[in-house]
């Protein structure tokens, strides 16, 4: 399956019937991570359920949340989409997962090495500067 770079969150939910429509509840943690904003409009895709085996390999068993799509020591080529409050570059990888990269500029394309991974964010250092997209 090809996953768009624009994907901002991924979660499992039950589709519930409510009067003349169906409802999917968005977990509050997705909004708390600043991936999406309340009252904005988004595209939603509905996929069939994963088998229990497939879910186990893609989630942390403790709380059933997806595992980070990057690992410490991994190298990635990314584009700096914007700058954080402290001036660090921010890039997004699969599922909209944020990677924080110091000493970069918006629009810059860099190869980075992941130096730390948390549940909802990773940190990286620049290995090579490739080009600017200005």
Burial class (CB in 10 A: 0-12, 13-18, 19+), 16: exposed
How many other CB atoms are found less than 10 A from the CB of residue 75?
12
- Per-residue pLDDT, 62: 54
Give 85-119 pLDDT, tens digit per residue.
889 999 999 888 999 999 999 999 999 999 999 98
Contact yes or no for 99/122 (Cβ under 8 A): yes
- Per-residue pLDDT, 51: 46
- Per-residue pLDDT, 13: 73
- Rounded distance between C-alpha atoms, residue 114 and residue 108, angstroms: 17
- Per-residue pLDDT, 54: 44
- Per-residue pLDDT, 45: 74
- Per-residue pLDDT, 122: 94
| pTM for the structure as a whole | 0.55
pLDDT in tens, the chain (134 residues): 455 666 666 666 778 888 889 888 877 766 665 667 778 887 777 766 554 444 444 555 555 567 899 999 999 999 999 998 889 999 999 888 999 999 999 999 999 999 999 988 999 999 999 866 55
Give me the domains of the chain, ranges plus CATH numbers: 16-65 (no CATH), 75-132 (2.40.50.140)
Beta bridge partners of 112: 76, 126
């Amino acid at each position: 399956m090809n996953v768009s770079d624009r994907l901002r969150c991924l979660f499992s939910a039950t589709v519930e019937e409510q009067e003349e429509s169906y409802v999917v509840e968005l977990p509050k943690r997705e909004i708390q991570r600043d991936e999406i904003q309340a009252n904005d409009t988004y595209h939603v895709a509905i996929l069939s359920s994963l088998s229990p085996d497939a879910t186990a390999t893609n989630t942390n068993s403790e709380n059933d949340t997806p595992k980070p799509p990057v690992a410490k020591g991994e190298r990635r080529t990314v584009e700096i989409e914007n700058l954080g409050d402290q001036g660090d570059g921010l890039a997004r990888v699969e599922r909209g997962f944020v990677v924080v990269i110091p000493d970069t500029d918006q629009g810059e394309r860099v190869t980075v090495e992941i130096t730390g991974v948390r549940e909802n964010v990773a940190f990286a250092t620049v290995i090579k500067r490739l080009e600017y997209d200005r």
